Amino acid sequence: MPIAFRQKPGIVAYLTAGDPDLATTRDIALAAIDNGADVIELGVPFSDPLADGPVIQRASERAVARGVRLTDVLGIAQEIRAARPSAGLVLFSYLNPVVRLGMKRLCEEAAAAGVDGVLLTDMIVEEGGEYLEAMRANQLAPIFLAAPTSPDRRLKAIGEASKGFVYAISRVGITGTQTQIAGDAAELVARLRQFTTLPIAVGFGISNAEHVAAVGKFADAAVIGSALVSLIEKSSAGEAPAAVGRFIAGLGVRKLVGAG
Query: Which of 19, 38, 41, 109 is flagged as catalytic?
Result: 41
> How large is the greatest C-alpha to C-alpha distance in the chain, in angstroms?
48
Give the separation between CA 196 and CA 165, rounded to whole angstroms: 9
Active site residue 52: yes
Strands (E), the chain: 7-8, 10-16, 39-43, 88-93, 117-120, 141-142, 145-146, 166-169, 200-203, 221-224, 254-255
d(CA 175, CA 241): 22
User: Angle at the Cα of 120 (from 55 to 221), degrees rounded to 5?
Assistant: 70
- From the list 125, 112, 114, 71, the residue with the least C-alpha distance to 93 is 71
Using CB atoms within 10 Å of the CB of residue 149, give its burial: 0 to 12 exposed, 13 to 18 middle, 19+ buried: exposed
Active-site residue 21, yes or no?
no
Contacts of 239 (CB under 8 A, 6+ apart): none
221-224, strands of its sheet edge to edge: 141-142, 117-120, 88-93, 39-43, 10-16, 221-224, 200-203, 166-169, 145-146
Give the CB-side neighbour count of residue 88, counting CA atoms within 13 A: 30
52, 79, 109, 116: the catalytic one is 52
* Active site members: 41, 52
